[in-house]
């Protein structure tokens, strides 16, 4: 019997996990295809600073495994990612039990409503509904397709306020506090002061910190062990999100919906 030993190139040292270079490169290829919509071997090689032959091998390997589709002008991401994404999302209790509340909140308020969770220090929009009178725009359309920094969204600040300080410090160290608008918090201690206020009142504000002229309110969603699973938020233009509606009515409504989601998740996790 012949035994084949494959010596895959690896990275890492005694202080960290060892990883396969080929898998890391494949992940970078997928990110590059996404960034360009479509890309060929020559452009990919230049973008990733690898040889054209290596770029071609990665592209064809990913195509053969169903992750890419070849087009007349290069390669694009396959719909396989949609199938995988739907599978992951549908297995999330936060999505399953949060979706009805998001639908109801969007219908009642006519504004954008979101369920957000934290993954690797960034915010993932699991579900988003546009209310009937919500402002149209590519930003909101594309929001569900990308990761957000947590410090400038109401949903993100609600999550950060429910995390241990050490975890928040780690997130800030890894991702920084980049500014989106003149109102974005970009100072570490200012952020922690804001998170103290969020914990005290039970919800977070985004006062034109992500988009000029846009405000939001977010509330955390916890499990039975008081660990944060994600958050629920509502957002809209300052012309609508103002006065008592912004300061009292909508915060009460958002926190109530977040609590309903918590109860449903926790009840079903015990069954």
pLDDT, one tens digit per residue, over 151-204 is 999 999 999 999 999 999 999 999 999 999 999 999 999 999 999 999 999 999
Find the mean pLDDT for residues 63-78: 95
pLDDT-derived band at 267 (thresholds 50, 70, 90) equals confident
Which band of pLDDT confidence, cut at 50, 70 and 90, is reported for residue 75?
very high
- Dist CA 253 CA 142 (whole Å): 26
Residue 6 half-sphere exposure toward CB, CA atoms < 13 A: 5
Is the pLDDT at 271 greater than 60? The verdict is no
pLDDT at 270 over 60: yes
For each of the domains in the chain, give its residue range(s) and CATH number, in order of start: 10-77 (1.10.10.10), 92-270 (3.30.450.40)
The DSSP bridge pattern shows strands 112-119 and 228-237 to be antiparallel
Question: Is pLDDT of 133 > 70?
Answer: no
Q: What is the average pLDDT value for the chain, to the nearest integer?
A: 89
Alpha carbons within 13 A on the beta-carbon side of 237: 9
Taking the complete model, does pTM exceed 0.85, yes or no? no
């Amino acid at each position: 019997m012949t035994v084949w030993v494959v010596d895959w190139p690896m990275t890492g040292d005694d202080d960290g996990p060892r990883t396969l270079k080929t898998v890391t490169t494949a992940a970078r290829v997928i990110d590059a295809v996404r960034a360009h919509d479509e890309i060929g071997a020559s452009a990919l090689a230049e973008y990733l600073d690898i040889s054209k032959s290596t770029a071609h091998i990665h592209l064809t390997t990913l195509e053969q495994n169903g992750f890419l589709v070849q087009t007349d002008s290069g390669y694009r991401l396959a719909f396989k990612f949609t199938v995988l994404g739907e599978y992951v999302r549908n297995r999330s209790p936060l999505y399953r039990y949060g979706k009805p509340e998001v639908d109801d909140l969007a219908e009642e308020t006519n504004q954008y409503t979101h369920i957000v969770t934290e993954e690797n220090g960034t915010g993932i929009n699991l579900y988003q509904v546009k209310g009937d009178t919500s402002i149209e725009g590519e930003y909101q359309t594309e929001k569900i397709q990308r990761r957000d920094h947590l410090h400038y969204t109401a949903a993100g600040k609600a999550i950060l306020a429910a995390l241990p300080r050490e975890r928040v410090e780690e997130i800030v160290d890894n991702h920084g506090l980049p500014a989106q608008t003149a109102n974005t918090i970009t100072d570490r201690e200012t952020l922690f002061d804001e998170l103290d206020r969020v914990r005290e009142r039970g919800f977070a504000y985004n006062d034109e910190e992500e988009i000029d002229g846009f405000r939001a309110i977010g509330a955390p969603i916890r499990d039975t062990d008081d660990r944060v699973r994600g958050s629920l938020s509502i957002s809209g233009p300052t012309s609508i999100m103002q006065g008592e509606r912004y300061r009292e009515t909508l915060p009460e409504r958002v926190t109530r919906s977040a609590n309903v989601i918590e109860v449903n998740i926790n009840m079903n996790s015990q069954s």
